[in-house]
Structure 1
Amino acid sequence: MKKILVPALALFALTPAAAHAQEQRFEHQGRVYAYTVTEVDGYRVISGVEEKTGKPFKLRVGEHRVRGTIGSQQVSFALRDVKPLTKAATTLAAR
Protein backbone atom coordinates (compact mmCIF):
# COMPACT_ATOMS: atom_id res chain seq x y z
CA MET A 1 0.00 0.00 0.00
CA LYS A 2 2.94 2.35 0.64
CA LYS A 3 3.83 2.40 -3.05
CA ILE A 4 0.26 3.42 -3.90
CA LEU A 5 -0.51 5.79 -1.06
CA VAL A 6 2.75 7.70 -0.71
CA PRO A 7 2.79 9.07 -4.28
CA ALA A 8 -0.87 9.99 -3.98
CA LEU A 9 -0.23 11.95 -0.81
CA ALA A 10 2.74 13.71 -2.39
CA LEU A 11 0.34 16.30 -3.77
CA PHE A 12 -0.83 17.12 -0.25
CA ALA A 13 2.41 16.80 1.70
CA LEU A 14 3.78 20.09 0.45
CA THR A 15 0.50 22.05 0.56
CA PRO A 16 -0.13 24.26 3.61
CA ALA A 17 -2.31 22.66 6.28
CA ALA A 18 -4.76 25.56 6.28
CA ALA A 19 -5.79 24.63 2.74
CA HIS A 20 -6.94 21.20 3.97
CA ALA A 21 -8.47 21.97 7.34
CA GLN A 22 -11.58 19.94 6.56
CA GLU A 23 -11.90 16.28 5.63
CA GLN A 24 -11.36 15.67 1.95
CA ARG A 25 -11.40 12.68 -0.36
CA PHE A 26 -9.44 11.75 -3.43
CA GLU A 27 -9.18 8.76 -5.75
CA HIS A 28 -5.89 7.25 -6.89
CA GLN A 29 -5.57 4.04 -8.92
CA GLY A 30 -9.17 3.08 -8.20
CA ARG A 31 -8.88 3.55 -4.44
CA VAL A 32 -10.68 6.28 -2.52
CA TYR A 33 -8.94 7.95 0.42
CA ALA A 34 -10.48 10.28 2.99
CA TYR A 35 -8.00 12.45 4.86
CA THR A 36 -7.44 15.57 6.91
CA VAL A 37 -4.32 17.68 7.21
CA THR A 38 -3.62 19.39 10.53
CA GLU A 39 -0.73 21.24 12.11
CA VAL A 40 0.57 19.63 15.33
CA ASP A 41 3.68 20.88 17.17
CA GLY A 42 5.04 22.50 14.00
CA TYR A 43 4.53 19.38 11.86
CA ARG A 44 1.94 18.79 9.17
CA VAL A 45 0.00 15.61 9.97
CA ILE A 46 -1.94 13.81 7.24
CA SER A 47 -4.45 11.38 8.75
CA GLY A 48 -6.97 9.31 6.91
CA VAL A 49 -8.34 6.00 5.79
CA GLU A 50 -8.59 4.00 2.58
CA GLU A 51 -12.36 3.79 2.36
CA LYS A 52 -12.88 0.30 0.92
CA THR A 53 -10.61 -1.57 3.34
CA GLY A 54 -10.75 0.84 6.26
CA LYS A 55 -6.95 0.78 6.49
CA PRO A 56 -5.86 3.92 8.36
CA PHE A 57 -2.79 6.01 7.65
CA LYS A 58 -1.09 8.79 9.57
CA LEU A 59 1.93 10.63 8.23
CA ARG A 60 3.93 13.37 9.97
CA VAL A 61 5.61 15.65 7.45
CA GLY A 62 8.75 17.19 8.86
CA GLU A 63 11.26 19.55 7.33
CA HIS A 64 13.25 16.73 5.72
CA ARG A 65 11.41 13.44 6.43
CA VAL A 66 7.97 11.92 6.39
CA ARG A 67 7.28 9.35 9.12
CA GLY A 68 4.18 7.49 10.15
CA THR A 69 2.08 4.40 9.73
CA ILE A 70 0.01 2.89 6.97
CA GLY A 71 -2.19 0.26 8.54
CA SER A 72 0.15 -1.30 11.08
CA GLN A 73 3.29 -0.80 8.95
CA GLN A 74 5.82 1.88 9.93
CA VAL A 75 7.01 4.10 7.07
CA SER A 76 9.79 6.66 6.88
CA PHE A 77 11.19 8.36 3.80
CA ALA A 78 12.98 11.54 2.81
CA LEU A 79 10.75 14.39 1.72
CA ARG A 80 13.04 14.88 -1.29
CA ASP A 81 12.06 11.35 -2.43
CA VAL A 82 8.41 12.37 -2.78
CA LYS A 83 7.74 12.68 -6.48
CA PRO A 84 4.66 14.35 -7.93
CA LEU A 85 2.09 12.17 -9.61
CA THR A 86 2.24 12.06 -13.39
CA LYS A 87 -1.52 12.60 -13.34
CA ALA A 88 -3.13 14.77 -10.68
CA ALA A 89 -5.33 13.04 -8.12
CA THR A 90 -9.00 13.92 -8.38
CA THR A 91 -10.62 15.48 -5.34
CA LEU A 92 -14.02 13.83 -4.95
CA ALA A 93 -15.45 15.92 -2.13
CA ALA A 94 -14.62 18.28 0.65
CA ARG A 95 -16.66 18.81 3.81
Structure 2
Amino acid sequence: MKAALFLAPLFALAMPASADTAPQQFEHNGITYVYETEERGDQRILTGRHYPTGARFRLVVRDGRVTGRMNGTTVSFRLSDIDEARAEEIRLASR
Protein backbone atom coordinates (compact mmCIF):
# COMPACT_ATOMS: atom_id res chain seq x y z
CA MET A 1 0.00 0.00 0.00
CA LYS A 2 2.81 2.42 0.86
CA ALA A 3 4.48 1.69 -2.46
CA ALA A 4 1.27 2.56 -4.30
CA LEU A 5 1.04 5.89 -2.48
CA PHE A 6 4.68 6.61 -3.28
CA LEU A 7 4.34 5.74 -6.99
CA ALA A 8 1.04 7.59 -7.59
CA PRO A 9 2.70 11.03 -7.93
CA LEU A 10 5.26 9.59 -10.36
CA PHE A 11 2.51 8.21 -12.60
CA ALA A 12 0.73 11.57 -12.45
CA LEU A 13 3.88 13.30 -13.68
CA ALA A 14 4.30 10.81 -16.52
CA MET A 15 0.73 11.16 -17.79
CA PRO A 16 1.08 14.63 -19.38
CA ALA A 17 4.22 13.54 -21.24
CA SER A 18 2.40 10.60 -22.79
CA ALA A 19 -0.53 12.83 -23.71
CA ASP A 20 1.85 15.08 -25.69
CA THR A 21 2.92 12.16 -27.85
CA ALA A 22 -0.63 11.11 -28.64
CA PRO A 23 -1.44 11.20 -32.35
CA GLN A 24 -2.97 14.40 -33.67
CA GLN A 25 -4.92 14.95 -36.87
CA PHE A 26 -5.93 17.46 -39.52
CA GLU A 27 -7.90 17.35 -42.76
CA HIS A 28 -6.94 18.59 -46.21
CA ASN A 29 -8.88 17.98 -49.45
CA GLY A 30 -11.06 15.33 -47.85
CA ILE A 31 -8.13 13.34 -46.47
CA THR A 32 -7.64 12.93 -42.72
CA TYR A 33 -4.01 12.88 -41.63
CA VAL A 34 -3.36 11.21 -38.26
CA TYR A 35 0.20 11.98 -37.24
CA GLU A 36 2.94 12.24 -34.66
CA THR A 37 5.61 14.92 -34.79
CA GLU A 38 9.35 15.26 -34.55
CA GLU A 39 11.37 18.50 -34.49
CA ARG A 40 14.50 18.76 -36.65
CA GLY A 41 16.10 22.18 -36.64
CA ASP A 42 13.70 24.68 -38.19
CA GLN A 43 11.32 22.07 -39.54
CA ARG A 44 8.68 19.78 -38.12
CA ILE A 45 8.30 16.23 -39.42
CA LEU A 46 4.79 14.75 -39.45
CA THR A 47 4.61 10.96 -39.84
CA GLY A 48 1.56 8.77 -39.70
CA ARG A 49 -1.28 7.44 -41.80
CA HIS A 50 -3.92 9.10 -43.90
CA TYR A 51 -7.50 7.98 -44.12
CA PRO A 52 -9.65 6.59 -45.64
CA THR A 53 -6.86 4.42 -47.16
CA GLY A 54 -4.62 3.99 -44.10
CA ALA A 55 -1.44 4.48 -46.18
CA ARG A 56 1.65 5.95 -44.52
CA PHE A 57 2.96 9.46 -45.09
CA ARG A 58 5.91 11.66 -44.14
CA LEU A 59 5.44 15.40 -44.38
CA VAL A 60 7.74 18.31 -43.56
CA VAL A 61 6.38 21.61 -42.25
CA ARG A 62 8.70 24.53 -42.96
CA ASP A 63 8.22 28.20 -43.81
CA GLY A 64 4.42 27.87 -43.87
CA ARG A 65 4.42 24.97 -46.35
CA VAL A 66 3.72 21.27 -46.01
CA THR A 67 5.65 19.02 -48.41
CA GLY A 68 6.43 15.33 -48.58
CA ARG A 69 5.25 11.94 -49.79
CA MET A 70 1.93 10.23 -49.27
CA ASN A 71 1.32 6.77 -50.68
CA GLY A 72 4.04 7.29 -53.32
CA THR A 73 2.66 10.67 -54.38
CA THR A 74 4.30 14.06 -53.84
CA VAL A 75 2.29 16.33 -51.54
CA SER A 76 2.67 20.10 -51.33
CA PHE A 77 0.29 22.70 -49.90
CA ARG A 78 0.28 25.83 -47.80
CA LEU A 79 -0.17 25.32 -44.07
CA SER A 80 -2.89 27.97 -44.27
CA ASP A 81 -4.92 25.62 -46.54
CA ILE A 82 -5.93 23.47 -43.56
CA ASP A 83 -8.22 24.32 -40.65
CA GLU A 84 -7.00 27.61 -39.20
CA ALA A 85 -6.84 26.42 -35.59
CA ARG A 86 -4.99 23.23 -36.49
CA ALA A 87 -2.61 25.11 -38.82
CA GLU A 88 -1.76 27.55 -36.03
CA GLU A 89 -1.09 24.65 -33.64
CA ILE A 90 1.30 23.04 -36.15
CA ARG A 91 2.94 26.38 -36.97
CA LEU A 92 3.60 27.27 -33.31
CA ALA A 93 5.03 23.86 -32.57
CA SER A 94 7.37 24.09 -35.54
CA ARG A 95 9.16 27.24 -34.29
Higher relative contact order (CA 8 A, sep 6+): 1
Structure with the larger strand share: 1
Structure with the larger helix share: 2
Larger radius of gyration: 2
TM-score normalized by structure 1? 0.48
TM-score normalized by structure 2? 0.48
